Amino acid sequence: MKIEVKVPAVGESITEATIAEWNKSDGDIVARDEILMVLETDKASVDVVAEQAGKLSIKVEEGETVEIGAVVAEIDTEAAGAEASSSSDSTEPPPAPGDANVGTGSQKEIHPDLKNHMSPAVSKLVNDKNLDTSGIKGTGKDGRLTKADVMNAPTASASSSAPTAAAPTAEKTQAPPLPVAGGAMQEETVRKPMTTLRKTIAKRLVEAQQNAAILTTFNEVDMSQLMKLRAQYKDDFKKKYDISLGFMGFFVKAVVEALRDVPAVNAQIDGTDLVYYNNCHVGIAVSTPKGLVVPVIRNCEALTLAEIEQSIRHYALKARDGKISIDDLTGGTFTISNGGVFGSLMSTPILNPPQSGILGMHNIVERPVAVNGQVEIRPMMYVALSYDHRVIDGKESVTFLKRVKECCEDPTRMIMKI
């Protein structure tokens, strides 16, 4: 019996997805609930598992974009029992990598050391170019070979013909191309299709600029007290909660206090109405290799500092592993973006629609500042609030940012609620 593997519905507004990676090769025997492939949508990555055990037959290659409900593979459940019984009764060693393709006449044996480090698409490219992968260094995750690694590797025919290449003659006056590191010739350009996530990011950023009246106001925060507080309690905090004490948790708590004082920053436009949210659902912008995602920490007003830090780590790990779900990214009312982790001194963050405000954190730099009539060196951070002027007036934006500054410069204000 053959079971169709279809692209599942992964969100209300999502109509298509890209096959980011096949975890199994064509012809592999798969177990029930084993991950077959990773789908990339415009919001998140989704794992697709096998409904039944059997022999996998792939219909759509890695990197293709398909509609929801499309058939991308088949599983032959009858082949599962035959393969399982034959493998259990046999005393022969397991087949070498590439044996699954024996008889097709189109595949060559793949180097066994790197078989498990190649996706089906990369494996096919290796065979097409007749490469010895033992000398190719993988730049992907966990040393995995990528398509770029294979494309930039010299072919066997090229390397074998190099010693017999004819010497330049007097008629050839053009200078040879300059060599690059390793002696390989570097392509002038590399063209790659935009991922679904990157296309969506581009679309939403342009829409935000076109559909909102975005302004940005700035202030600076003296981080002396926060840094002193963190240094004093970080070891005890780590011991009790098994989580590092960072600055983001304090800024989330400060944003909650500011949102309570200035409710307009926690509001959104819905048609001709303004919707004010009583709860603070704060999105934390996280950079991943595939693009920027903004998982949402819900009801931050009811969370402790430790719970906020644990939530940040939880979503950061999910984003790193490509496990962010649609639910993780929806429902935010305000966003924080920390460009300071990359060294940014100042920026104007772009709104995350339909939200009306986003706070930009930046690098902490020691600068001379005037304190009580004296010049002192203090660790300072510029903060920026980009906001939708259709919802938030200038007075409200400045008041909000000033409140964030006060809470961070004097953390006891967040405890005393003053």
**Active centre residues (catalytic):** 389, 393
Q: CA torsion angle for 412, 360, 352, 42 (degrees, to 10)? A: -110
Hey, how many other C-beta atoms are within 10 angstroms of the C-beta on 25?
18
Backbone conformation region of residue 283, classed left if phi is above 0, alpha if psi is from -120 to 50, else beta: beta
Which position has the token pair 């060559």? 108
Alpha carbon of 211 to those of 204, 269, 355, 357, 389: distances in Å? 10, 11, 12, 14, 11
143-161 burial, b at 16+ Cβ within 10 Å, e below that, comes to eebbbebbebbbeeeeeee
Q: CA torsion angle for 312, 317, 321, 326 (degrees, to 10)? A: -30
R_g (Cα) of the chain, nearest Å: 28
Rounded CA gap, 136 and 145, in Å? 8
Rounded CA gap, 114 and 336, in Å? 41
- The tokens describing 255, both together, are 């944003």
